[in-house]
Every structure is written in C-alpha cells, then in structure tokens.
Structure 1
Amino acid sequence: MFTTILVALDGSTQSIKVLELASSLTGPDTTLHLVCVVDPAYALDNPDDAFEQQQYPAAAAEQHHAQDLIEQARQRLGLACVRTTLSGEPAEAICAEARRIGSDLIVIGHRHLSFLARLLDPSVGSKVLDAAPCPVLVEVR
C-alpha cells in the first residue's frame, strides 16, 4: 500500500476523477498531498496580505482560486490531507514536491491531445511521466 500520495489538481472536470482514483488507493497509514500549481507570474508570498491584494489583484485572485480548489477537494474527500499551492512550471513543480515529500505515487489527469497539439505543447502529464521520482498513475477517463 502507498503511504504518501501526491495528487495534482488543476480544476478541470477531470480533477474529480483524479481525486476519486487517489482516494481509492488510500489505507489507514496513507497521507494524501493535494497540490495545485500556480503560474509563477501569479505567485505571491502572502496572498492574504492587504497590500499584495491591492497591488496585485489578479495574482491574489489566482492564488485564492488554487487554495479554494484544494480546500474543496479536501472537503469532497472528507479525509485529513496536506494541502499545498506551488508555483512554477507545473510538471517541474509537481516532481520537485514529490521528491521533497518522498512520495510513493503521483496521481494526475491526462489531457487528450492530438499528435500535433502534443508536439506544440506537451501535456503536463507527459512531462511528469518523464521526470517523476516515483510511479505515476494517470487518470484517463
């Protein structure tokens, strides 16, 4: 059984399936780490700071959206989870966090892209598969 599972969420409709898949793999000793990656252009040190909210309203909104997404996922699960918002290139941030927490498994979704679309903009899932420090389970439904 897995003891540390990183669940990468992006707010898409597939995130619910990713969450359900990850929760089906939990046991009594499993810790789920829910993560959402924010574009570095919108990353704030403290999105609750009044000055940052006033100076960077779009960034504060993006950061709060990511936090809300993770909190809604936690509530849907009804389990104790570690919740983290990250910033950076999504695949790199997900893999770095998996290494940092010693993840046994990463659970992610998959965008169904055409061959040309994958060439022009490879999916986060594909990049995670290439760089992950642990096994990756991809929800493809």
Structure 2
Amino acid sequence: MKSGDNPMPKVVLIAVDSSPQQQAVIAAAAEFATECSSDLHVVSVNDPARHWELGIADPTTAPFDVLDHDVIATLEAAVRQLAERGLPCHTHARTGLPAEEIARLAVEISADLIVIGHRHLSWVGRLIDRSVGRDLLDRAPCNVLIVSERENTYPE
C-alpha cells in the first residue's frame, strides 16, 4: 500500500466458487464491509477449462450449462449469506480464466481489496489444479486477502 493511501477498503470484491471455503470467505469480507462501510461486490467465474471435471471429453453446450448453473447458485448463496448480515451486494457472473476475470473486474469496479479462499490441495493436486489465489497475486490491481479455514496447526 502506498504511503498516504486510505487503508480502509471502500470497495471489496469477494471471489467465490462452490468450494467449502465459500462461507469463510464471505464471513471475512463481511467483517471488512461492516467495519469500513465498504461497497461489496461478489464474483463467481465460469471456467470453461473445468469441463474435464464433469467427465465430458467434448465441450458442448451441456457442460457450460452445468457450470453456468453452478455460478448462479454460488452467487445466490453468497447474496443470502450477506443479506443475513444486513449487507447488500452487487453480483457478477463471469466466464474465463478465474484469476484474469477477477483482476479485470477489480479494475472495472476500482476495488480496494479482493477476498478469495484457499483450498488445501496436495502438491499433486496443485499440479493438476492451478491456484487461482497465486495467479491472482500476480494480476490483482489491489490488495488480496486469502482466507483459509484451516485451524492454526503451529505449536504455541
């Protein structure tokens, strides 16, 4: 953060998918929004590269329909969770590479902070499934908060 910049994020972009970390990510962003009176935006990205997860070798409209439904359901769940805390938000459904789309949206809305989850994958899992958080750190136009659900495993 540059000297003289306002450390309180006025625009927070929450990047979610249907992973188990979604609730923790939204809860962390909601804390910022409550403390800083931030404008909340929630994005979920339909990554066409995920069609292999569906077991479909030929990407036709069928897998994209499933992924679109997943994005919509994810955004609806985020809106409900934020509404329970009395926090309104703007939603954005995107299609493309997640880190690129999240960074692009952050520029469009002049985000001060991006909040994203961290999935704890093995090193083999990381070879197969790229880390959106890691890629986002290289592309983001603002600070990135990576939320982890893992409890502290370090000895005190």
In structure 2, runs of 5+ residues without a counterpart are 1-7, 51-63, 150-156
Quote the RMSD (CA, aligned, Å): 2.4
Deviations 1:64-116 (A, max 9, x none): 32442333333333211111111111111101000111100100001112234
CA drift at 1:41: 8.0
Asked if the contact 1:41/1:59 (under 8 Å) is kept, the reply is no
Q: What is the correspondence of 1:67-82 to structure 2 with a 5 Å cutoff?
A: 67-82=75-90
Could you say which residue in structure 1 is the equivalent of 2:143? Answer: 135
Could you say which residue in structure 2 is the equivalent of 1:9? Answer: 16
Distance 1:90 1:34 in 2: 13
Q: Structure 1 residues 2 and 119, CA, compared in 2 at 3 Å: closer, same or farther?
A: same
Distance 2:92 2:146 in 1: 20
Distance 1:100 1:128 in 2: 15
1:86 aligns with 2:94: yes
Deviations 1:2-29 (A, max 9, x none): 1001000112221111111111112454
Distance 2:69 2:127 in 1: 31
In structure 1, runs of 5+ residues without a counterpart are 43-55
1:24 aligns with 2:31: yes
Could you say which residue in structure 2 is the equivalent of 1:100? Answer: 108
Q: Structure 1 residues 73 and 61, CA, compared in 2 at 3 Å: closer, same or farther?
A: same
Letter in 1 for 2:13: L
Distance 1:19 1:11 in 2: 12
Instruction: Give percent identity, aligned residues only.
Output: 38
